[in-house]
Structure 1
C-alpha cells in the first residue's frame, strides 16, 4: 500500500529516475511543507488576524537566517484513517536562526495540522531541537499552539509530552527558555511553558489551561469561557503564569526580541554589552540632569507615594528598561535595564501600591526574577522602600511565611553581583528580605531619606513608651500629643540611615543623584566576584 500526502498531485509527480526529476521532487516536497494543509488553511489563520507558524518564525528571526530541521518529517500512524492524512512537518516547524545576529533554537507549533496536537514524530522533532539547544548552549524559543496529546497515537504521545517536559527541566538554568502562546495551548501542552523562564501571551488570542470549559462544566457544573479560564489577562493578573501581554502576534514577537537582548546565550556566558562609554573621573564629576531628578523624587512626607519606575528610568542607559509582569503584583516592579551597557535586573518596591508592602504574590514574583537573574549571570539591583509585609489573615492563611521565604531563599542563594539601594523605608522582616547586608548583599547604599528600623514610629512608640503613655492617661493628660512627641523623638533617633551605617549595615550614605555613578562603579568591581558554595545536591527551597 502506498501512503502519500493528500496534498501531492500524484498524477503529475516528476520522473524521479532523472536528476532533474529528483530535484523537482524535492522542491515539491519543500513547497508542501510550507503549506501542509493547503492555502485555505492559511487564509483562515489570516482571517482571524493572526500569523501562521512559519510567518511567526520569519517575523521573529533575522531575515534569511532560519535553518529548518526535519522539514520532510511525516507521522507513521495508520490507525483511525490517518494513513491517508500525512501532512509534511507533522504539525511543528523546528530549526534555528538568529535574532540580532545571535543564534537561537526555535520551534513553532502549527495549529492547522491536527489542531497542533503532539504525536510521535512531532514529539521527536521537538525533542531534537531542544537537545540541540542544550548541546550548543543556545536560547530555546517555543511558539506554542497545540491541543496536547494526539489521541490517535495513544500512550506514545503522552510519553513524548513527558519527554519534552524532561528536556525543559534539563535546560532550566542552562539556557534561557522563552515561550510564546500564539493560540490555544491546552492539556499537557500547557505544562511546557510553565517550565520555562518567560511566557508571553497575546490578548484575546492566547488560551492556556489544563482542563477546558466543557470538561469543567461536565464535572463541576461551572460555566466559564475559555478567555475567563485561561486568557492572557487571567494568566498575567490572577494566575501569574505570564510575563507579558501583547495586543498582537507581532507585538509579542517584538517583545521577545527585546528580551533576548538582555539575556546571555547560556549560563556560562554573559548578556551582550551595549556600546557605552565608561565614565572617567569621580562620581560627582559625572552627575547628569537625569541624576539630579533623583534628589527631588522622595516626598517630604513618608506617607506620600511616588512611582519607582521614575527611579529606574533615571538609573538606566538612555532611560530604557524592559518591565516583566507589569500587571501582576504591582507592589513590586521587576525589570531588565542596562547600566554602562551591562544588563542588570531591578527589583523595586512600588510605593503607589500597598505603600510598597510585600505580600504573597509580590514575594513570589520577585523571587522568580532573582533566580532567573542569578541563573544567567545578571547582576541584581534592589531599590528598597518597604514598610513591611502586608498584614491580614488572608496573607497568613495563604502561606506568607512559606511563600515570602522564597524571596529570602532566592536572594540568599544568588551568587551574582548584588547591590541594594535603600531609598526610604526599610522596616522589620521586609528589610531583611529586600537585599540586606546580612542576607548576602555585596554593596548596600542608602539615601539620606532612608529609614532603616525594626518598625515605624507609630508602632514603635506603642512598645517603647507604653508605660509612659498609660501613666499619662491615668493622670488625664493629652496622650495623643504626648505620643506625637515620642514619635518625633523616635524618628530623629532611629528613622535615618546613620544608625545602620555606624554599624556597617550600610556601606555608604549617598546623594540620590550619585546613585547611578555608585552602582556603575561597584558593578565594575563586582565583575570579578567569585563565590564558593558548600557542596550539595541542591537546596530545599520552600516551594
Structure 2
C-alpha cells in the first residue's frame, strides 16, 4: 500500500486533471471529521496483511481512489475506496477509470467487489469529462450486476448523479451520523422549495434505511460496519455460478420443541417471526437485510446445515404481516437477488392480505405486488414455502406458492388457507339473508354462519386434499424437512421457459 497522498497540480491535459505525489496521507484531516481514513478502512475490512493495491507506490496518476484486492476470511474480494482528503473524493474521469478497471478485474476473476464511497460527486473542474467517467462507471456496475456480488459502503457523502453507482450495487451499508446520499443537496432543495431541511433529514443514514429503502443496513459506527460487511460477504457466494449450496453441508440436529411457543395459537395475535427464523436456521447465522424498512416483511440470509439460504417471512408485529407497496418491493428485490446467485429461498407465510388503504391503491399497489409475483414466478433457484398460520387471498400467491413454481410447499397443522377472513366472506356470501334480519336474530345467524365458514373453509384441508400443497409438517420438523428438501433439490433441472431475451418486470 502506498504511504503518500497525491494532490492536484494546477495543470490540465486536455479535459483530464493530472496530479502527483507530494505529501503523506492526511489522516488527521479525516479524523477531524470523526471518520476513518481510507487506509484505515482497508485495514479493518480485510484480513491482516492481505491487501494488494492495483497501482505501485510511486504511481503518478493517483486520483483520490485506492483499488485492489484482499482476503476476507481467506476468500479473495476486490475493492475500491474513495479518499476524501484528495480533492474531496470527487469522481474525475481517471478516478472513474480506475474503479471501472477493478470492477472488470473482479468480473474476470468471478469474485465479489466492495466499494467505499466518500466524496462530493462529479468533479466540477473537469467539466463533461467527469460526467462521461461516471456514465462509464455505471455501465461497469450494470455489467457486474447478477454476475458478482457488489457491496457499497457509504462512509461519508455520496452526492449528485454519482450516487447512482452505489444505487446500482446489490447491498448498501450506511453509518449513522456519517453517511449521506442525495441527488440534489439540501441547500438547493431548500432554496427551490422554501424548506429548511438539514442534510441528515434529506439523505442521512436513518432516512435511507427506514423511509426510502435505498440502504439495506444502518450501522452505529465505522468499525461495526466493516465487521458486519466481513460477515455478510462471507455468507454470500462469490459469483452467480458458485453457490455455497453446492459446496458445503454441515447439518446438525436442533431441539425445536420451543418453536410452538414462539407462534401463538390465535392466528390474529402478532408475534416476532425473527426468533422463528433463527430456530430453523443454524445458530447465530441469520443476517437480516432491510431490517428497518417495510417491517411487515422480513428478508435476510442465513445457513441451514451450512448451506446459504435466503429467507422471506411475514412479520405480524407490523400491519399484521399484510403486504403493502414497500413490502412487495423489498421481497421482490430480495427474491430476484437470491435467484441471480442460485441461493435457495425459504418463505415463511403468515398473512391476512394486503394493506387496505386508498393511498396504497393510488400509488400503484397492483404494480408493486406484481413485482413480487414476477420475482417468484421467474426464479429458477430452489424455492421452499411453509405456511405457519394463515395465507388468505393474494398473499397465498405472492408468498411464492407451488403454483408460481415453488419446489415444495408445506403447511403447519393449524394453518388456514382461504380467500379471505371469515367475517368478510360471510358478509358477502350471506348478504341477502343478513339484510332481512335484525337484533338478536341477526347476531345468532351471523355467529352460525361464521362458525360454518370457519369449519368448512378456514383450514388447510382443501389444499391438502386436492394436492395444491405437498403436505403437512409439524413445527418441530420444519428445520429437518427443509434441509432434506434442499439436499434433494440441489442440482435440480432448470424449468423450461419460452426462449426470450428477458421478462419485463413491472417496475
Change (3 A) 1:428 1:115: same
Q: CA deviation at 1:38?
A: 3.6
- For 2:470 and 2:7, the matched residues in 1 are separated by 70
**1:381·1:418 contact (CA, 8 Å) conserved in 2?**
yes
**2:83·2:119 contact (CA, 8 Å) conserved in 1?**
yes
**1:105·1:140 contact (CA, 8 Å) conserved in 2?**
yes
The reply on whether 1:92 has 2:65 as its aligned counterpart is: yes
Q: 2:436 is paired with a residue of what secondary structure? A: helix
Q: CA deviation at 1:489?
A: 1.4
Q: Deviations over 1:299-334 (max 9, x none)?
A: 232221111111101101114300001100000000
| TM-score normalised by structure 2 residue count | 0.93
Alignment of 1:37-116 (within 5 A): 38=24, 41-71=26-56, 72-75=58-61, 89-116=62-89
The reply on whether 1:257 has 2:242 as its aligned counterpart is: no
Select between 90-99 and 151-160 the one with higher mean Cα deviation. Answer: 151-160
Change (3 A) 1:6 1:376: closer
**1:37·1:113 contact (CA, 8 Å) conserved in 2?**
no
Looking at secondary structure, tell me which structure has more strand per residue.
2
Unmatched 5+ stretches in structure 1: 9-31, 76-88, 280-285
Alignment of 1:170-189 (within 5 A): 170-189=143-162
- For 1:46 and 1:109, the matched residues in 2 are separated by 15
Q: CA deviation at 1:272?
A: 7.2
- For 1:107 and 1:120, the matched residues in 2 are separated by 15
Change (3 A) 1:257 1:171: same
Q: CA deviation at 1:119?
A: 1.3
What is the aligned partner in structure 1 of residue 442 from structure 2?
A: 479
Alignment of 1:368-387 (within 5 A): 368-387=333-352
Q: Deviations over 1:195-232 (max 9, x none)?
A: 00000000000111111112222333222111001100
Counterpart pick for 1:527 among 485, 490, 495:
490
The reply on whether 1:455 has 2:420 as its aligned counterpart is: yes
What is the aligned partner in structure 2 of residue 193 from structure 1?
A: 166
Aligned pairs, number: 491
- For 1:275 and 1:426, the matched residues in 2 are separated by 33
Alignment of 1:377-416 (within 5 A): 377-416=342-381
Counterpart pick for 1:302 among 267, 272, 297:
267
Unmatched 5+ stretches in structure 2: 9-19
- For 1:374 and 1:502, the matched residues in 2 are separated by 31
- For 2:276 and 2:180, the matched residues in 1 are separated by 35
The reply on whether 1:488 has 2:451 as its aligned counterpart is: yes
What is the aligned partner in structure 2 of residue 243 from structure 1?
A: 216
**2:6·2:64 contact (CA, 8 Å) conserved in 1?**
no
Q: Which has the larger radius of gyration?
A: 1
The reply on whether 1:153 has 2:126 as its aligned counterpart is: yes
Q: CA deviation at 1:258?
A: 1.1
The reply on whether 1:233 has 2:210 as its aligned counterpart is: no
- For 2:222 and 2:184, the matched residues in 1 are separated by 24
What is the aligned partner in structure 1 of residue 500 from structure 2?
A: 536
Change (3 A) 1:438 1:37: farther
| TM-score normalised by structure 1 residue count | 0.87
**1:424·1:449 contact (CA, 8 Å) conserved in 2?**
yes
What is the aligned partner in structure 1 of residue 468 from structure 2?
A: 505
Q: Deviations over 1:159-196 (max 9, x none)?
A: 11100000000000000000000001111221101100
- For 1:278 and 1:429, the matched residues in 2 are separated by 34
- For 1:271 and 1:108, the matched residues in 2 are separated by 27
Q: CA deviation at 1:503?
A: 1.0
Q: Deviations over 1:488-543 (max 9, x none)?
A: 11111111112111111110111111101110000001102121332211111101
Counterpart pick for 1:167 among 140, 152, 158:
140
**1:142·1:178 contact (CA, 8 Å) conserved in 2?**
yes
Looking at secondary structure, tell me which structure has more helix per residue.
1
Alignment of 1:438-453 (within 5 A): 438-453=403-418
Q: CA deviation at 1:250?
A: 0.9
Q: CA deviation at 1:403?
A: 0.9
